[in-house]
Amino acid sequence: MSGIASRAAIVGVGQTEFSKNSGRSTLRMALETIMEALDDAGLKPSDIDGVVKMASNREIEETDLARALGLRNLRFFGEINYGGGAGSATVAHAATAVAAGQADVVVTFRSLNERSERRFGESTAGGGIAGWRAYYIPIGLVTPAQWMAIFGRRYLHEFGHDTDAFGMVTVLSRRNAATNPHAMMYQRPITIDDHRNAEWIAEPLRLLDCCLDTDGASCAIVASAETARRCSGTPVWIRAATQGMGSAAETMTSWQRGSLTHLEEHDAAAQDLYRAAEVTPDDIDVLLVYDHFTPMVLMTLEAYGFAERGRAPDRFREGFFDL
């Protein structure tokens, strides 16, 4: 069993609505979700002694939160790099800090005006280009959709699928979102024909295969076992948490590998996770996968053992992932 098992728990959660225009600052949204999560847990701002945030929230400093919440001190604070797929690592780092005695109540959050203020999905390259992007942007590989399309094309070719393989992911994701009043796509399910008729963005990806640029914020509070037991709700105990990177890694463009149809970082994280938690995929009842671009969802499910390589689309056809 992992070193954090039974030592840390999620005791409260909060979230804003998710929309095209929040109409408020990222700091204000972060504070809204933190206060909601504290209320959910039956805790007060003065209980907070740690913060872990996403690197994408560098405009919100820990000092900003401390002033706004009236905190006297933070014993632990950290930041997680990379994009949405790394969001769960905020909870992993918080749990590790709590298990090590570095903090007792840690706020984890992300707050973005991804749609109304900045569009990560847009092509805005110009001026000097440094780092790994210097190899791709000059030849037209500028946006995340274009980067993900390379993985998607290889997946279809290698395993003999057509783009309905991606469409089934979108249809199920939208069906689930349509039941969530907070979701940007609340009460807006789609069909496989909607996917087939959607405009191309970067073949083989259509509009409905691509990550939504969205305004919103969410928060989860991680607390020690002692504190969790006195919180108002039922604590969700963290059994294990892992991270992975894989070889020859780049941010969203890890093409210099032996295969483009499986994700080394997920392979590594999954193996460590199941070993630390002492469970197998057959033990899992509820699964939440980051659904940014549809090809990556299929490869993630395969890496975590919910389908053989190249066969995740078959499991969607069988209804295996339906609620």
**pLDDT surpassing 70 at residue 225:** yes
Tokens standing for residue 31? 């504070």
**pLDDT surpassing 60 at residue 282:** yes
Residue 134 CB partners (closer than 8 Å, separation 6+)? none
- Residue 290 sits in which domain range? 132-212+244-318
Residue 317 DSSP class:
H
Angle at 40 (CA atoms; ends 34, 41), nearest 5 degrees: 90
Among 204, 237, 270, where does a domain finish? 237
What integer pLDDT is reported at residue 139 of this predicted model? 86
- Domain check: are 159 and 67 in the same one? no
Tokens standing for residue 246? 């894989």
- Tell me if 323 is assigned to some domain: no
Query: pLDDT per residue over 180-194, tens digit each?
Result: 998 889 999 999 999
Phi, psi of 167 (to 5 degrees): -60, -35
What integer pLDDT is reported at residue 135 of this predicted model? 83
- Tell me if 103 is assigned to some domain: yes
**pLDDT surpassing 80 at residue 145:** yes
Rounded Cα gap, residues 141 and 130, in angstroms: 14
- Tell me if 122 is assigned to some domain: no
CATH code at 287? 3.40.47.10
pTM for this model (two decimals): 0.92
Residue type, 91: V
Rounded Cα gap, residues 92 and 139, in angstroms: 37
